[in-house]
Amino acid sequence: MAKKAGRTGGSLRGVTVEDLRKELERRRRSSGKLLKKREKLAAQVEAIDAQLALLDVSTGGVMRVGGPRKRPQNTMGLVPFLVKVLRGKTMGVTEVSVAVQRAGYKTTSPNFRTIVNQALIKNTDKFKKLERGKYTAA
């Protein structure tokens, strides 16, 4: 079965039915090898999953390089922490953001000062602005 130069797809015009049957049979035989290989690899993956389960590592989904991001869990929200820190005191936004973290509020935000500022501005019923950038608990 000669191919013409430069063509990527072959024509089946010159192929006999017997040649097609032989090719199909050859492919069926090789599919058995692939299925065995697939089963072997699946067993290996299952064994690895079992080892990971013993280590208490999740295998669901795609993990990011460096591991999954773990969001900190706080006992209460940011606003109650701010009220607790500002009660009886007057502080600037930067001071408040540092004091809240020292009081135990956990965050991984690189813009935490901005988040604190937004919370102070938004909750006018809980915080009183005394002068530019200075707040106290209401």
Tens of pLDDT along 72-115?
Answer: 888 899 999 999 999 999 999 999 999 999 999 999 999 999 99
Phi, psi of 127 (to 5 degrees): -130, 145
pLDDT, tens only, 13-50 = 888 999 999 998 888 888 888 888 888 888 888 888 77
Closest-CA residue to 105 (of 133, 129, 134, 84): 84
pLDDT, tens only, 110-134 = 999 999 999 999 999 999 999 999 9
Answer whether 0.85 is exceeded by the pTM. Answer: no
Helix, strand, coil abundance in the chain, percent, nearest 5:
50, 10, 45
Contact between 136 and 95 (Cβ < 8 Å): no
Phi, psi of 130 (to 5 degrees): -85, -40
